[in-house]
Structure 1
């Protein structure tokens, strides 16, 4: 089925042949949802071509790789055979169907069609993220090395998926061995965001294991697992979170904590565990799962990781927003202060707002006593800064909050 075998064929003949390839590659699909997708994509050549263009625009965005995969079958501009096979592999990959993707890949090779970099990207990703069979990791490593032998440069996603799988499923020696293999073949680790220092590879492996654990451990909430499945496909996500944490610490005047955070990253090349644990807490809160966030915080403590001021800020504001966990918000705000950390105005205000929203005199009095405890611990409320935080709140809530705080200051 060499793609140069149809030099004199008409456009319609070529389109029919492309559709036959698509049908052959998808006719034994057993997944009902994917069947529907394949049916829609395969309604006509035009729908298949539209799928190819949309898929490329969404997943790649690189002109050179577009030319590589979508190089026409002829001067008539018909989709190439490798593009058709890659579409099917990609759809299986997106649904995490490793065995089906692998079968289509073998079918493609058997028909004499050579994979391109995007084909390998999709195949390696699905193999590296499916832990149901040991052979998948072996094959993912094999195909990644194969791309290097062919002089291909994949994007960072398959690389990071593969490194997490190796860290999670193989001993440290195998982790180091694979790094040496790919470096020997010319891959520059820094180009892929792998900035871990040689002396800290054991620690780096533990961090990557944790990333994989977040995705593959069934005891973790499914929404959170899905979140980390997509967010941790490259180093950029945690680098951005690291910048966010560092900036927040600086903005709140926690210069010593910010410096400690920065120095650890500089020394090891590894994002500190406090960042990863805090991001887990944030993920639970993003899905409105306050109990999960609190459990993630307790798991952080159990792992021997100390929260910094930013961790407390995230946790306390999340707990304060849920009436069922308001008691915990108060507890951890005082705990934060007992550890010599000072809450920022947004965190303090979130807890005082929790008192105000209860709309009864007992809660008001308790709120005043709570503020007094904080003042006794050295905290000085800033009413003007609180007003900036409270913009957009209901007038009655603002009045109640200010009543709690200002009456305490007057005393």
Structure 2
């Protein structure tokens, strides 16, 4: 290699005179990309009004002597969609389709289709989907799924799906698993589970394997149907098992829930047996549902067997399980056993909740042991379990049933101070009872407190007060007016 310094002066002059650069440094690819980025940044910083976005886009890139990029158009369209400028989207799309030469990315159209769907412009979304090839873009399941999401959002638009699928097939779009999931989810959502099963079969016929997520959704939808038969659900799950579907804990839990709801506790127990045969250990939720089913049916012997079985399996009952079992004991008038269960719960670290105490309070009040009910109420307060409206109603019903109206009044006043309540049928019973015993003044005092707390008495209370007012000359018309006006003003 010859050094430049070794060249003769005549050679240097020759090189300077005749040398030619192969490419201008201002026309290289990196310089073009740099100018496009600069133009894009200029567009983003300008923030013109929506009507000037497209002219600003063209001017920004023309200033740097480069063509606009897909990202710039996407930025303009996203800005227009954020401000819901429908009229200005059309010129941008016309410029994009007729003037520009680059291949437009599909995600731009997916974004616009979703935007039209959110504004219930379904026909605009469909038209844009059909026009995608005119923008030098090959549509795929990505844009089709965006349109399917829009159409599956309402029952009316769902009717257009078959035509869209036929047209998409002509456009060369192949449905993906995600497309089938959208269709199955929509059909299950409107209760057309039979059609959803057909779509799933169509998916498998198109070469896709069994989708566990879709199977689980269909089985859940079968369970949730009002006129569903659990036999059909189990039959469907059996057929899917042949194809390779393995039902999980959630699938069996849904079946058990439906069986219990339909009053088929024994069938629900058989599902537990089937789960164990397949190597799935039922959890405490499954056992609690079966336990609830037998107690609701009055089969307390089976309920005891289920409770013993879950303990033998090593499952730890939670507060919901104990509440169901205690409710069963109370239904059998075994209140003592129910109270002993509270002690067992505390020993096992399971704290009784408000529902636990309310169940026992109701049973004790029904047996007429009001003193014991008061003691239990104090105990729950000491244990940090706050009372609610249901607690007071149980106590009020018990006191009123035994004729202890004055004590019921005390409880009512306590309710007004501790619980927000707008109406309770027990209030009318107490006021009615006071009037029947001639304690109209006491009833009026109680009524004033009710009105002060925005509690609206019903017709029975007003009727009792009106019928009793004739024997009480102290009741002045002004008093009635002062009481009625706030009641009328209540929402």
What TM-score does the superposition give when structure 2 sets the normalisation length? 0.36
- Structure scoring higher RCO (CA < 8 A, sep ≥ 6) equals 1
Larger radius of gyration: 2
